[in-house]
Amino acid sequence: MTLELEKICVAQLNFVVGDIQGNAKKIIDSAKNAYKSGARLVLTPELSLCGYACEDLFLRPSFIKACDDALDHICLELATLKDLFVIVGHPTGGDLRTRSVTTPKRQNRASVLSEGKIIAHYAKRELPNYQVFDERRYFEPGIEPCVFEVLGVKIGILICEDAWFEGPALSALECGAQLLLVMNASPFHVGKGAEREKAMSTRASQTKLPLIYAHLVGGQDEVVFEGRSFAVDSRGNLVGRAKSFEEELYEIRLSLGDLNNSESTSTSIQIRGTIEPESTEEHDLWRALVIGVRDYIHKNRFPGVLLGLSGGIDSALVMAIAVDALGADKVRAVMMPSPYTAEISWLDASEMAKRLGVKYDEISIKPEFEAFLSSMKNEFDGLPIDTTEENIQARIRGTMLMALSNKGGSIVLTTGNKSEMATGYCTLYGDMAGGFAVIKDVAKTMVFKLARWRNENDPFGQGKNPIPERIITRPPSAELRPDQKDQDSLPPYEVLDAILERYMEQDMDVDQIVRAGYKQEDVERVTHLIKISEYKRRQSPIGIRITHRSFGKDWRYPITNRYKG
């Protein structure tokens, strides 16, 4: 009886950048488990061996050599598994046969391992250099297609960006490919999953080849990968979709026609898998934020997190995300009232801490604030009270949180949202002080949506309604002066966020935004605030990217800048 390729396993896994031995073990274990379940081909994501993205680690010869050695180790560990083919993503700095790291030709590669040997390899041809990508800094493009045979099926490999262009897929088709496999590390943003499926549907329809898309899952610094691997048939129809934001050995079944028949085409290969249903936008955003926090804390080995809980919606949202990500025992909240803190802020903060079961403390900043004012009395004499006194309060809180972080080891989560980061409605060395900015890319209008969504849903078993209703319905306030409201110094958030999206994410200029229906004075005010706040953003902690353009690697604007467009 002739053995056929009946099942392909997509190893949708969460790798750790630089943990080459740990990643290799995860690949080996997954391949062995897939083999036991009947799979004879295992596909891992892009750069699975080293994690994505390793940035300037790619420039270190010792790092490339460690990856080469680990690839050899995987070969040896899987050598006895007859008719198993494993495709591993990895960087290389030289020829795979000589393992030289002196050649300048560094590439992003896929290698096909079988029975102790590397039987084929492919170098990524299209190197992205936009948004968060910087691959031309590290790699040279490949030239040749790669088509290899597994148990009678001719398979072409593509790596991520390759599949968004016609050339690489057509090259594989010309070399006889009957099935396309795409290895990916494509960062999440709202709507990206549907974009990928549409693009791959187009590629499959164009080549008339079924296509399997293997994707990474997990958080890496500011980016998140959501998994959601999938498969489309030769007509471009979705025939399989894996889970989002979870590791999974996702199986795709193949039905093979007479592939030796000279009249047979790729349509003789039928593929199918289970189809995980779509989620709502809020659900996807919540899971992206949760996995972003969880992986940043766990992969960097922090014992827990610490945040200032003000009784406002931003800190409430961050705490709810943190508890879902880490559990209540790893979260500590500190309420630091000032002379201007409303009693209901105390009550709401305390109530939320009780609902989620986190460690909660109250430390007044009034004595420190009075001491500062006393020390600066001569300097401030005769001058009006202004944002100086407001910022002193914020900086006292930042100092306290960082002191607690130093003593206990927990990292401080900052609570500023994208609307605030855009307009500079934040204090350097105050509320910006911390190690990880959870909602840095979440606009204020979305903050409200996520808070309401989380109160109505319990995705991680921590209970519904973690956020007291009054926190959501109260007008937002920094509470740094009497009767202060955010909207005293900012346009309504619906207006602010709409202008921000158009200017910052869509690159529209002032005139275009005004023509879209917004007041000239509002547009000029918001865009002016964005420009003059760049120096602050450069000093802010990294945060989770959930839009296609965040204030991180996507945004590279000069601080010294007089352009007025």
What is the tens place of the pLDDT at every residue in 43-89?
999 999 999 989 999 999 999 999 999 999 999 999 999 999 999 99
Poorest-confidence range of 186-190, 255-259, 351-355, 408-412? 255-259
- In the residue annotation, 564 being an active-site residue is answered as no
Catalytic-role residue among 54, 67, 75, 124:
124
Task: Give the strand order in the sheet containing 411-414.
Answer: 359-362, 331-335, 305-308, 411-414, 436-437
Alpha-carbon torsion, ordered 74, 78, 80, 84, to 10 deg: -130
- In the residue annotation, 46 being an active-site residue is answered as yes
Catalytic-role residue among 54, 75, 160, 426:
160
Query: According to the model, what pLDDT value does residue 376 have?
Result: 93
Query: Which residue's structure tokens are 């890496």?
Result: 220
| Span 11-25, average pLDDT | 98
Poorest-confidence range of 59-63, 218-222, 284-288? 59-63
pTM for the structure as a whole: 0.93
pLDDT band for position 102 (cuts 50, 70, 90): low
pLDDT band for position 97 (cuts 50, 70, 90): very low
- In the residue annotation, 9 being an active-site residue is answered as no
Q: Which helix (H) or strand (E) holds 532?
A: helix 520-532
Q: For residues 97 and 85, is the Cβ–Cβ distance under 8 A?
A: no
Q: Parallel, antiparallel, or unpaired: how do β-strands 41-43 and 85-92 relate? A: parallel
Mean pLDDT score of the chain: 92
Catalytic-role residue among 46, 135, 161, 390:
46
376-416 pLDDT tens trace: 999 999 999 998 989 999 999 999 999 999 999 999 999 99
529-545 pLDDT tens trace: 999 999 999 999 999 99
155-174 pLDDT tens trace: 999 999 999 999 999 999 99
Q: Tell whether the model's pLDDT for residue 258 goes beyond 90.
A: no
Q: Tell whether the model's pLDDT for residue 483 goes beyond 80.
A: no
Cβ-in-10-Å burial (0-12, 13-18, 19+) of 243 comes to: middle
Query: According to the model, what pLDDT value does residue 262 have?
Result: 45
Within 8 A by CB and 6+ apart from 363, the residues are 334, 335, 336, 400
pLDDT band for position 96 (cuts 50, 70, 90): very low
